[in-house]
Amino acid sequence: MTADTLTREYEDLSTDAGFQFRFHCERCGAAYVSHFQPCAPEPEGLLETVGELLADAQHDASEEHIAKGHPEHEGALRAAVAEVAEHFHECPRCGDLVCDACWHRAVLACEKCIPSEARSRAS
């Protein structure tokens, strides 16, 4: 499974204090939340300059928007994907990304794609 696959269904819960992400099962909607990753403070001079120049524009900006612009955001997302990847499986039949509860290891498919007789054996 690639990082692109896992990031099809996620929410960015990041703030200006750090990064956190919630990933969703495409079958049942169950969510797995990554651990909070604090972000390194921006250099003060740069932060003050940007803050002064964009004070009016950022007045209504959300913390999530500010965090997405942080240089560590992409690395934090990659780390979160690596953290939760073990709980998700890409079904080879339908391509859905499903959680452990929706995955049948015995037949290597999601619960939607396995035949009913295999479903009863897998349980």
Q: Does the pLDDT at position 2 exceed 70?
A: no
What mean pLDDT comes out for the span 10-15?
91
How would DSSP label each residue in 18-49? EE-EEEE-TTT--EEEPPPEEPPPPPHHHHHH
Q: What's the confidence (pLDDT) of residue 109?
A: 93
Q: What is the pTM of this model?
A: 0.68
123 or 79: which leads in pLDDT: 79
Place of tokens 């913390």: 63
Q: Does the pLDDT at position 44 exceed 60?
A: no
Token code pair at residue 55: 């004070």
Q: Does the pLDDT at position 112 exceed 80?
A: yes
Q: Give the long-range contacts of residues 59-65, CB within 8 A, separation 24 or more.
A: 63/14, 63/15, 63/16, 63/17, 64/12, 64/13, 64/14, 64/15
Query: Residues, the chain, total?
Result: 123
Q: What's the confidence (pLDDT) of residue 21?
A: 95
Segment 65-108, tens digit of pLDDT: 456 667 888 899 999 999 999 999 999 999 999 999 999 999 89
Closest CA to 14 of 69, 79, 67, 61: 67
Token code pair at residue 114: 């396995």
Instruction: Please list the alpha-helical segments (H only) found in the chain.
Output: 3-6, 44-53, 55-58, 63-68, 73-84, 116-122
